[in-house]
Each structure stands twice: as structure tokens, then as C-alpha cells.
Chains A and B, each alone.
Chain A
Amino acid sequence: MFMHRILIIATLFLSTQLATAQESLFGVPATQADIDKSFWSIFPDGEFLPDGEGNVAEGRELFEYQCNLCHNFPGENDPVKNQIGKLFGVDDKRGKSNFEQTIGSYWPYPTIVFDYIRRAMPLVAPMSLTNSEYYSLTAYLLHENGIIAEDDVMNKNTLPKVEMPNKDGFINAYPEVPEKYLAKP
């Protein structure tokens, strides 16, 4: 009887092993910790935005210490910093040859601001701030681009609702470039 029970357990164990083996030849199950460590994407509807909250005033202060080394403040005009990336002060010049693609004039979704600066900025130390600090920087950038008010706060609920001026400015070229943009012989 005892041996019988062991056999059943052994058989159950083996069949579990086989089931796992059939799922993947050489891969192993990914844990939630594996996923959390490697996946940082945020969707335009706000999916995967983290907790935390930020505001424009804190963002302005952070900008001075974390960003101004490479990026001009509004009104500043250092040419090297403009080459690195102009973040403010661009009028709508769409369609002109000197059109400058900035957050206010070009970026279609507000979530891109948070997603990008969190994964890539500040350049010397990406991911070195808190989520609330990244929300504050996002708020400041959106405010100085004339998109949100000085006292608007940004968090996972408010950020995705921000409407970007160029939200309808993109056309999908996959799988085919639309006919009107194809070169004619």
C-alpha cells in the first residue's frame, strides 16, 4: 500500500515534468520578477504607468539639476544644447523645411514623455530618479510646451488623458505605404 502510494506520487511528478518539458524544449518559466526587471513599456492608454505623482514646480527644480546640463531652459539658446535636443519654444512650423519636431509640435502621446525620460534620462544616470520625480519632469515638460496648466498634477490617471496637439498627425505605413506617398514612374 505504501509502495503503491509512492508509485502514484512518482507518476504524478513525472507527468508534471513531462508537461513542462513539452511547453519548452530549453526555456524555463519566466517569473514575475524576471518580467518586472526587463519590461518597462508604457502604452498610450496608460497601461503599466506606475504609482506616484508629480507637479510642474518640482519638475522645474529637477530640470535645473538633472537636465539643464544638456538641455536649454525655455528662453535659453545655447546652440550645442539645441543640437542635443530642443525641448521648448518651438512654434508650430509643420510642413516647413525647418520644422522642428518637439514634444509640443510633434509627439502624439503624453505617455511617451514619461516612458522615454524614465528609461533613458538623465543621460549620465538613467532610471536614477523616483517615479514621482519622473512624473514631475513630465509635468514640467508638458507645461512648458503649453499643453497642461501650472497647477496640473501628473499621475497614472491624469497623464494618459492629456491631449497632445499632434495626436492625429500620423499615418500607418505598414504593411503598405499609402498610395499617395508612393513615388510614381
Chain B
Amino acid sequence: MSKNKNSLIIDTTDHATKGGLLNRRLFLSSAIATTAALATTRAAYGQEIVGEGQEDWVLYPGSDAVEYSNRSRFEVNSVKRLLPNDSQEFLDLRLTKIVARTPLDHLMGTITPNGLHFERSHQGIPDIDPDQHSLVIHGMVKNPLKFDINALENYPTVSRNHYMECSGNSNVLWQETPTNQSLQEIHGLLSGSEWTGVLLSTLLDECGISPDAKWIIAEGADNGMMTRSIPIDKALDDTMIAIRQNGERIRPSQGYPMRLFNPGFEGNTSVKWLRSIYVSDRPVMSIQETAKYTDMMPDDMALQFTLEQDVKSIITRPSSAMSLKKKGIYEITGVAWSGKGKIARVEVSVDGGNTWADTALEGPIHAKMLTRFRIPWMWDGSPAVLQSRAIDEFGRFQPTRKQLIDARGRNGVYHFHAVHSWGVATNGEIKNVYA
């Protein structure tokens, strides 16, 4: 106990007020130091205080409550990962780091902590003063209207659990040879949250949209002003102007102070830092829906407006970040999601897809949200290939990689949603494989 580095340090410069009163914490630590000295004396007489052998955090008062909490200082590995392969010259020219992936292997349940939600911007994260920001809705409407964050907070809001997945998530799996990348690098552009916002239909209704309206064009207030066209049926269905994520105001990297949120649509359509919605009779054909976010098919045509996401699932444990230390029972778990609705069923195979077993789904199951599946597995030490495949409530199924490539070729850059395989070697190491 006398080794405790806090016990005898009295910092007389730690003043609580002017005039010589020191912080009361110092009194407490010197009192404890005295106790420690007494304990040493008692031990010499064959007596020990009852706390002997206890760790410091049991014996000493902890730290102060704080205004905004952080994680344990020991949780150093559960962090987002930036692009690992870019050269410094590239990053220097690109000016800002624009991608950060969620550490799925460190998370359980279905909600991603706000600080670990994946980030994707095109020209950096703007530092928006909410008092200088508003959303303008205009175009084919009777009344063009403007809403600031205070106005939006006054409307009745909805809070809904939804996943968000970047259109380019898992796209390294289109490559011909399997990558050595980790779960986080391959699939980490995926997160889940409770999003709170005002349904866009409420605001469009107040603006009085024309019966000829077919699309809305959303523009952000970021550098580069991200722009996407959204079909009006979606805009009038469950699209919201999200202002909160897991209860608190959305973070700058998620579009503070307001973003479009299109549940189940490719992530890029949920325009962050939203400041303009133009109601239109046609899509605007922005760069992000023509030159980008489109996929070349085998017949040289490009699929455009692949907006509603397919059914997909991934195993998060065991996965690349860990190795199996010995034979025995392991839980195989992961998440499944569908851009159309609820997950109905997830099956797991440990023999590369020859045989499949039903998994337990953890409820409540929300539409367009991650659903966690679990199944126990006895590993006998032989090589294994772990796979999961999902089916949604509409019977849409997750194809094998071969089935997907047979239909769409390998020249697409986005929208990879096929079954993924983790290869387990006899030494317990796990890596991405094609099976």
C-alpha cells in the first residue's frame, strides 16, 4: 500500500480558491496516507488491516463525476480505423481523412455507441453553428419554408432503431483474390442507432407539394455540398430529418445539427448537414448518383439508384480479430439486416455452406435495423469455414458470392451483400476466405 503513487503526493499548487485553501481532495489523500503508515506499524505487530491485498481502486476514492464521460483508459482497442493503405502523399493531397470504420468485433447487441459510429464524409466534417443553420424546403411546393433546429425540436418526433450502411461497405469482396483485411476493415462501414427526428412527410405536407412531384433533391452544407435525389414515395414514407442519435444531438460527423435519414437506403442518400430540399419532378443526376455509387454490370450497363439495400448478414465473432486458443465451445454471433424490413431467419454453416443450422435471433426485431443472431459451436480443432446467411420477412435471401457475381459480375464497386466466409485454421487463426 505504501507503494501507491497517490498516497504521499501533496500538490500545494492545487488551490481550490485564492488565499491558500487547497483542494479538499488533498486532505483525503493525506488522510489515507496516514492510514497506510499506521498499517505498516500494525503489521510489525502481527496484525493486518482488513484491506490488505485489495487493489488500489478498492482502497482509494475514485475520480470525480464529469460532465461528459469517456470510456475506461484500458479500452484502447475498441476504436474506429481509418483507411490503412493510403500513402502520406495521397493523404496530404486529400487534405482530410474521410473514412473511419466501426470496430464490430468489439461490440455486442445492435446499438453502436455514438463515438464508434462509422464516419464517411467527402470533404471533411463541417463545424456548423446551429444558430446559423437552417433547412429550406422549396421547388414544387405552395409554400417554401425554412426550419432551424429549434423549429424542428418543436415538432412531434419519432424515435426509431435503424442501421446505417455505406454503399461501399464490404466492397473489397468484389476482388478476385481474398483480402487479408480484418472484419472491421471489410465490414466496418455499418452501425446501428436509435435515430430521433421529424418525419419529412410532416414538413412536406406543410409546404404543400405538387401532385407532379416525383423526387426530392437533398443538399448538404458541407464543403462540396453533398447532393442526392430521393424518390418521393420514400420521402413521404419513413424518411426523417434526424436531429438525435441514441438520445443526444447527432454528432458533427453524423450531420450536426440535422441530417436526412432514409431507413434501409444506401448510406450516401442520407445527406448530412442538410440545408436544402428541392421538390422536383425528376432526379438531378448529381455526381454521386451517376459517376459514383453506380455499378457496372456484365453487359456494360451501369445500375443506377440501387437505393434500397439487400438482405445481408456477417459473423462478428469469432472473426479475424481473434484466434481460437483451444478446442471447445464457442458462440458464433453476428448481425443481419435488410433494407426492406425485418429479418426473418439467419442460418449459420461451419462447413463452407454444405450444411446449415438455424440461429437464435435476439429480439425485439426492428425493421431496417441490425438483428443479432447467436448459435453455440463446439470446435473440434479441424479446419472450418464459418458463414451466415439471412432471409428477410419478404423472403429475400442473401446470395452466395458466386450467385451474386454470376448475376452482377465483378466490376461493380458498391452494394456487395453476398454471404461472407471466415476460414478457421487448425491453429485457430481466422481470416477472410472465399468458399
Contact = CB atoms under 8 A, between A and B. Distances in A.
Interface of A: 23-31, 34-35, 38-44, 69-70, 80-81, 83-84, 94-97, 99, 101, 103, 106-109, 111-112, 115-116, 119-120, 123-124, 126, 169-175, 177-178, 180-185
A181 B407 contact: yes
B284 interface: yes
A115 B287 contact: yes
- Looking at chain A's contact residues, the main secondary structure is loop
B278 A39 contact: yes
A35 B138 contact: yes
29 contacts: A25-B155, A26-B147, A27-B203, A29-B143, A30-B137, A34-B134, A35-B276, A38-B219, A38-B221, A39-B136, A40-B219, A41-B227, A80-B93, A95-B296, A95-B298, A101-B291, A108-B285, A111-B285, A112-B291, A120-B223, A126-B123, A126-B225, A175-B233, A175-B308, A178-B303, A181-B407, A182-B407, A183-B404, A183-B418
Nearest to A80: B89
A40 B145 CA distance: 17
Contacts of A27: 137, 145-147, 151, 203, 206
A171 B304 contact: yes
Given A25-B155, A29-B144, A126 B224 contact: yes
B297 interface: yes
A21 B113 CA distance: 39
A122 B12 CA distance: 55
Contacts of A41: 217, 219, 227, 278, 284, 286
Interface residues of B, number: 71
Nearest to B133: A38
Contacts of B308: 174-175
Nearest to B217: A41
A119 B144 contact: no
A26 B123 contact: no
A42 B219 CA distance: 12
A80 B221 CA distance: 29
A34 B208 CA distance: 18
B290 interface: yes
Contacts of B397: 185
Interface in B85-112: 87, 89-90, 93-95
Contacts of A169: 300-302
Nearest to B304: A170
A59 to B, nearest CB: 18
A42 to B, nearest CB: 7
A185 B136 CA distance: 46
Contacts of A173: 303-307
A84 B290 contact: no
Contacts of B278: 39, 41
A103 B176 CA distance: 26
A139 to B, nearest CB: 18
Contacts of B286: 41, 112, 115-116
Given A24-B145, A173-B306, A43 B219 contact: no
B410 interface: yes
Nearest to B208: A23
B47 interface: no
B226 to A, nearest CB: 9
A95 B300 contact: yes
Contacts of B221: 38
B383 interface: no
A25 B291 contact: no
A69 B224 contact: no
B341 interface: no
B252 interface: no
Contacts of B93: 69-70, 80-81, 84, 123
A169 B304 CA distance: 10
Contacts of B284: 41-43
Contacts of B210: none
Which 3 A-B pairs rank lowest in CB-CB distance, beginning with the nearest? A183-B399, A27-B145, A120-B224
B290 A112 contact: yes
Given A28-B147, A174-B306, 13 more contacts: A24-B143, A24-B207, A26-B155, A30-B137, A30-B138, A34-B136, A38-B219, A41-B217, A41-B278, A97-B410, A116-B287, A120-B122, A120-B225
